[in-house]
Amino acid sequence: MQRLRARFAEVRRHVSVVDPVARWWGRQRLRMKLTVAAALATVAIAVPPQLTRYWQSVLFFPVGVYMLLALGLNIVVGAAGLLDLGYVAFYAVGAYTTAVLTTTHGWTAWQALPFAVIFAMVAGVLLGAPTLRLRGDYLAIVTLGFGEIVRIVAQNSGSLGEARGITGIAHPGKLVGTDFELLPLPYYYLTLVAIGLAIVLMLRLTRSRVGRSWSAIREDEDAAEAMGVHTFTMKLWAFAMGASTGGLAGWVYASKVSFINPDNFPFFFSVIILAAVVLGGMGSIPGVLAGAFAIGFLPEYLRNAAAGAWLTDRLNTLTGGHVNNITEYRVLLFGLALVAMMVFRPQGLLPSRQRAAELAEAPSPEQAMTVVTEAAEDALVGTEGAGREHGPAPPAPPGAGTGKAVTGRAEPAVPTRPRPATSKGPTHGDIVLELADLTMGFGGVVALHRVSIGIERGGIFGIIGPNGAGKTTLFNCVTGVFRPTSGAIVLNGRSIVGRKPHRITEAGIARTFQNIRLFPNMTAVENVLVGADARHRTSVPGAVLGLPRHRREERTGRAEARRLLDYVGIVHRADDLARNLPYGDQRRLEIARAVATGPSVVLLDEPAAGMNPTEKRALIELIRKIRGSGLTVVLIEHDVGLVMGVCDRVAVLDFGEKIAEGPPAAVQQDARVIEAYLGTTADAP
Amino acid sequence: MLLELTDVHVHYGKVEALKGISLTVDSGEIVTLIGGNGAGKSTTLKTISGLRRVTSGSIRFKGEEIAGVPAHRLVERGLSQAPEGRGIFPGMTVMENLEMGAYARRRARAAIARELERVFGLFPRLAERRRQPGGTLSGGEQQMLTIGRALMAGPEVLLLDEPSMGLAPKLVVQIFDIVTEINRQGTTILLVEQNAAQALRRAHRAYVLETGRIVRSDAAAALLDDESVKAAYLGGDVSSSEPEVPPTS
Amino acid sequence: MLRLINFAHSEIFMIGIFASLFAMDGLGIDVADSPKKGLALAATLVAVMLAAMLASGMAAVAVERVAYRPLRRRGAPRLAALITAIGVSLFLQELFAARYGREFLGFPRVLEKRRLFEFHGADIRTDKVLVFGSAIVLMVCLDRFMATSRLGRGVRATAQDAETAALMGVDIDRVVMLTFFLGGLLAGAAGTLYGVFFEAARYDIGFLPGVKAFTAAVLGGIGNIRGALLGGLLLGLLENWGATVLGGEWKDVFAFSVLVLVLMFRPTGLLGERLGRARA
């Protein structure tokens, strides 16, 4: 029995992980992909007029509508990773808006179209704004609730026709010589156009910083935030776009069938669309389309085919039921398919390369259950910051008092950002980052107590101290993960206390994490790009529309990312998945990503952790190089030798207080420091 | 040889965390594993406890192979761990935490009672706070609780993961005094520590771990005097018993 | 404890209802029979409830073994677990629908629904007393079990820190199975009470109570058993208040709205979370 189970698991692992289809597709050149797409498009356009009216109708609904809805939900679930169980709500809003506008207010269907989409989008924003902070499955339940609320409101509102619904919805007026009356074919083509638009939209998005930020959010939301991604805004955009697509589908449906009622929008409908996305392959356009097609088409096919009758008989014997038609078993098979898929092939039929990668690796079961707590604890680990040049790359970096040799060349790899206007004048001196009386308390525990540190521009500043001394908490306060209880944090003359992490990154502080928080299933280049995206100026709609400025920023961003990878020495690994990189390269990548955000100050949290002496020497080189490009580096480290070797000044924390500060040699001799690190001085065993 | 690791390799995904660790722990010893952050010390303990899978290599406890045995089985065999970061159950009282330690010993009522006495003897502060929820204890008390809880299993080998983490220097000495006492009472101890000075002072033998490999192995006293160890882990050329008089300048 | 929203729980509940119906049938009670009294009544109720509890408990364990454990083994993402749960829920619903049809099945009236007395305009009926009383008893039992027994400690420990619990000798798989079993037992008991009170059974009867149960749990604080009790009470009161104010058909909207609002503004619940976390 044990062996049987082991073999079973082996097979399953093989099936889920080795993804021949995804790999094959990924390997195909663009020309091949375009050919396949063109072939499918031709079939989609040319074949339907040959079919019977019944099948044409089926192609419109459920198949076409499902495909459109699945594309929309794919943005929410597949791209942004947000669990939405109430997607039907947006569909309903679109449909009801169309219904009300064309019946009560006498508008034409075409006039109602933009409003159907907009109202659905508004609904999306209204739902999303307060709820997107929630954890995954809670978000799912809230959205489910919302979906049901919409349906029940429709059911009970007189103005929405209550249970009877609304009849007499207008068909769309004539367009390009086509009548939209009762025949299904024109609506089918209309849906096809909508699907085409949605595909274009999605492709644009995934290739842009919007798609990257969604991937980053999915992989590691906190790290994304630290890299300057506006996580909340991006999630809201995903919701809004998904909702508008739902609204569009609602319009098309309502304007064809002319009659809707609340029973058209049950919770189960949300499940169907979700299933289409999941079974087809989340995040992958071909997958989602295939999934939606299967879910829409198969039941209809089985209803009429002999295979359907055979299946019904088999199932009747199994369940002891007396069902006539396979459609009765539709939902049951559906549920079974969902479970089977999740158990055997969670990445779906045609998964995107990224998702297949994500689902391939898994921690041990005990680890999996503790992952939540650990992730939270890990979030409290230190951060690295990346410095940034001020003004155009100067041949010699500013930074008096460092006394270190300076690289003579300008380093074009390190991004520049115009020096922000300081509120205090040059008399503020060379202090780029100042902490004054910083205090941080959690409940009864005081993690930091009145810590004051002034970090000079262009210096390499070290922070050391025993475990639990508050070093990481300090980093977290500076980068906005925690809001300090009291005290000031001033960057370039501007206070950054209490600001959100992504804003602080924009202001000029970047970090790396003690336990390396890269986006594991994105390539090295993509990881760096997420950092670089922090400096993108184009808005989300601009990305969607493919504005010239957006395209330009993409191009320069990519070039810059490669330059940065070269700068840290891993450009040969540019297209490897981050999690496949060796440890030392991962550290370098994280540094590159942080530097890409174009900061003034780089915070590095235990960058040498786990490195052997050779790697440490290389790291020291890199840190010096970064400083040479004009950035200020602040470093938490346990490796005393490294700290002493590379830092200009060192501060020592112990129990949340700064107990020493100064040049490394002096700090090393300080009695308090010795005691803190080594225990009480006079203790004989 | 009570506990023996032979060429143990452990991977986290593609990354190799332990690259062929071999070490031994004899009955009655205190053996310590020191090294920098990320060196693999905690991973080693977690692997011994069964929380991490061994890619290759063997772990023998009392002559039997235990690599691959699920974690919850090892307690019955006499191996108990006080995890890193204390890992007490914050929502349970001190008493309940201690009872959890004896979870695997279902029928040994008398033995459990005796063990409890012993633990309270070692840690009188815990006795005072027995009804308090674990989350309300101070760091030092939590560390005591975690060690006490591990003792409740009546282990032959006690695995201690960074007991001094986040504790004030005085408390660190106290904890280590207790660790020494536990060893004197008959329990073998494998100790992982960042605070190399204290660990080396209390242990019989020590291994130095660096990026997943054992780079030094010797009697603890020898390593305490060793210059390179001092430089790497004891903060420069500072002697470990007397503070240097700061140079006047 | 598992940080899993068990969608299928509504169906475990439904199974309890059906099991109660079959148990009654098995005892030879017919719809046309007159209600029982005294010892016969007590015996019948106990027997039926035990049968339902057992049925639901075993169903819950089966679901865990087949659908959830493989995912747990692989550390599958939460979305996968949620979808599986939905799949199981749909499958079970439809299974019963196929076998027993989509119409309501009626319960025989075992308990005479007499009005005992009046309390501030509310009817205190025998069946209401039964439901309320049983609920209290069961919850107290559960509470005691979790607080004092060794297995209960194991469950709580696993919820707080699974890895450390494993170090203590807790067999996580067994604990998970036990948790599902307990959940099933309670669902089965609830099923009997539901059947006695509403006297109806149908394949989809579990959906709405399932969501409301989840709402109550969230309201009180996920993982907090006393919170769930409080949450249930509060939700019931709110629902009915809402029904009187806005009209009966809005009752369910009320429940959903409470859910949405609580999750939006106080995800930790009224009494605070003990075992899980709602915020990301």
pLDDT recorded at residue B158: 92
Question: Domains in chain B, ordered, with CATH?
Answer: 3-233 (3.40.50.300)
Q: Which chains touch B (3 or more CB pairs under 8 A)?
A: A, C
Nearest chain A residue to C165 by CA distance is: A366
Nearest chain C residue to B155 by CA distance is: C168
Model confidence at C256, in pLDDT bands (50, 70, 90)?
Answer: confident
CA distance linking residue B178 with residue A472, whole number of Å: 30
End-to-end Cα spacing for chain A? 56
pLDDT recorded at residue B115: 86
| Residues in chain C closer than 8 A to B89 (CB atoms) | 156-157, 160-161, 164-165
Instruction: Decide if A83 touches C, using CB distance below 8 A.
Output: yes
| Residues in chain C closer than 8 A to A346 (CB atoms) | 71, 76-77, 80
User: Which top CATH class is A382-424+459-475+500-678?
Assistant: alpha beta
CA distance linking residue A340 with residue A346, whole number of Å: 9
List, as ranges, residues 135-194 from C with C-beta within 8 Å of B: 150, 153-154, 156-157, 160-161, 163-172
| Residues in chain A closer than 8 A to C277 (CB atoms) | 135, 372
The CA radius of gyration of chain B, in Å to the nearest whole number, is 18
Nearest chain B residue to C161 by CA distance is: B89
Nearest chain C residue to A81 by CA distance is: C79
pLDDT recorded at residue A589: 92
pLDDT recorded at residue A1: 52
CA distance linking residue A468 with residue B166, whole number of Å: 4
pLDDT for residue C269 is more than 90: no
Nearest chain C residue to A150 by CA distance is: C253
- How far does B26 lie from chain A, in Å, by closest CA? 22
CA distance linking residue A300 with residue A460, whole number of Å: 68
Q: Which chains touch C (3 or more CB pairs under 8 A)?
A: A, B
Phi, psi of A419 (to 5 degrees): -65, 125
Q: pLDDT (tens digit, 9 = 90+) per residue, C39-94?
A: 777 888 888 889 889 999 999 999 888 888 888 777 667 777 888 888 888 888 88
- How far does B237 lie from chain C, in Å, by closest CA? 38
Please report, for residues A66, A151, A186, B22, the alpha-carbon distance to residue A255 in angstroms, rounded to integers and kept in the order given: 16, 19, 12, 74
Please report, for residues A175, B58, B193, the alpha-carbon distance to residue B3 in angstroms, rounded to integers and kept in the order given: 82, 11, 18
Instruction: Decide if B187 touches C, using CB distance below 8 A.
Output: no
- How far does A199 lie from chain C, in Å, by closest CA? 24
Least confident of A662-671, C170-179, C217-226: C217-226
- How far does C117 lie from chain A, in Å, by closest CA? 35
Interchain CB distance below 8 Å, A680 and B167: no
CA distance linking residue C259 with residue C211, whole number of Å: 9
Dmax over CA atoms of chain C, in Å, equals: 58
DSSP state of C111: B
CA distance linking residue A676 with residue A668, whole number of Å: 11
Interface test with C, best of A127, A144, A162, A342 (most C CBs within 10 A): A342
Neighbours of A484 (CB within 10 A): 24
Nearest chain C residue to A144 by CA distance is: C256
CA distance linking residue A141 with residue A75, whole number of Å: 19
Write down the mean pLDDT value for chain C: 79
pLDDT recorded at residue A25: 62
pLDDT recorded at residue A379: 32
Tokens of A427: 């008399």
Contact B43, B21 (CB under 8 A): no
Interface test with A, best of B69, B238, B248 (most A CBs within 10 A): B238
Instruction: Decide if A266 touches C, using CB distance below 8 A.
Output: no
Spans in chain A with pLDDT lower than 70? 1-29, 135, 306, 353-429, 443-444, 467-468, 610, 612, 676-685
pLDDT recorded at residue A657: 86
pLDDT recorded at residue A683: 37
Spatial neighbors of A75 by CB under 8 A, at least 6 apart, are A202, A205, A238, A241, A242, A245
Q: In this structure, are strands B79-82 and C115-119 parallel, antiparallel, or unpaired?
A: unpaired
Neighbours of A3 (CB within 10 A): 7
CA distance linking residue B25 with residue A314, whole number of Å: 63
Q: Which chains touch A (3 or more CB pairs under 8 A)?
A: B, C
pLDDT recorded at residue A118: 94
Distance of CA C195 to the CA centre of its chain: 13
List, as ranges, residues 487-546 from A with C-beta within 8 Å of B: 514
- How far does A151 lie from chain C, in Å, by closest CA? 9
| Residues in chain B closer than 8 A to A360 (CB atoms) | none
Spatial neighbors of B70 by CB under 8 A, at least 6 apart, are B50, C166, C171
CA distance linking residue C88 with residue C65, whole number of Å: 12
User: Could you tell me what percentage of chain B is helix, strand and coil, using 3-state DSSP and rounding each to the nearest 5?
Assistant: 40, 25, 35
Tokens of A658: 């700064």
Q: Has the ipTM of the complex gone over 0.85? A: no
pTM: 0.77
Q: pLDDT (tens digit, 9 = 90+) per residue, B214-233?
A: 888 888 888 877 777 766 66
Interface test with B, best of C73, C151, C168 (most B CBs within 10 A): C168
Helix residue spans in chain B (DSSP H): 41-48, 71-77, 94-101, 109-122, 124-128, 139-151, 169-184, 196-202, 220-225, 227-233
Instruction: Decide if A329 touches C, using CB distance below 8 A.
Output: yes
Domain limits, chain A: 59-266, 382-424+459-475+500-678
Residue among C224, C175, C146, C154 at smallest CA distance from C64: C175
CA distance linking residue C249 with residue B97, whole number of Å: 50
List, as ranges, residues 38-57 from B with C-beta within 8 Å of C: 49-51
Nearest chain C residue to A366 by CA distance is: C163
Model confidence at C193, in pLDDT bands (50, 70, 90)?
Answer: confident
Interchain CB distance below 8 Å, C83 and A363: no
Neighbours of C168 (CB within 10 A): 29
Interchain CB distance below 8 Å, C93 and A342: no
Instruction: Decide if B80 touches C, using CB distance below 8 A.
Output: yes
Segment-wise mean pLDDT, segments of 10 residues, chain B, 249 residues: 89 80 90 78 88 89 88 87 82 86 80 87 85 80 88 90 75 86 90 82 88 85 77 43 32
| Residues in chain B closer than 8 A to C152 (CB atoms) | none
Residue among A224, A220, A550 at smallest CA distance from A371: A220
- How far does B135 lie from chain A, in Å, by closest CA? 12
Interchain CB distance below 8 Å, A609 and B37: yes
Spatial neighbors of C255 by CB under 8 A, at least 6 apart, are C211, C212, C215, C235, C239
Alpha-carbon dihedral of residues A170, A176, A181, A183, nearest 10 degrees? -140
Contact A504, A600 (CB under 8 A): no
pLDDT recorded at residue C10: 84
Neighbours of A44 (CB within 10 A): 16
Interchain CB distance below 8 Å, A468 and B241: no
pLDDT for residue C24 is more than 50: yes
| Residues in chain B closer than 8 A to C168 (CB atoms) | 72, 75, 100-101, 103-104, 149, 153
Q: Count Cβ–Cβ pairs < 8 Å, chain A vs chain B.
A: 100
Tokens of B220: 């603890």
Residue of B40, B195, B246 lying closest to A669 (CB–CB): B246
Interchain CB distance below 8 Å, B211 and A612: yes
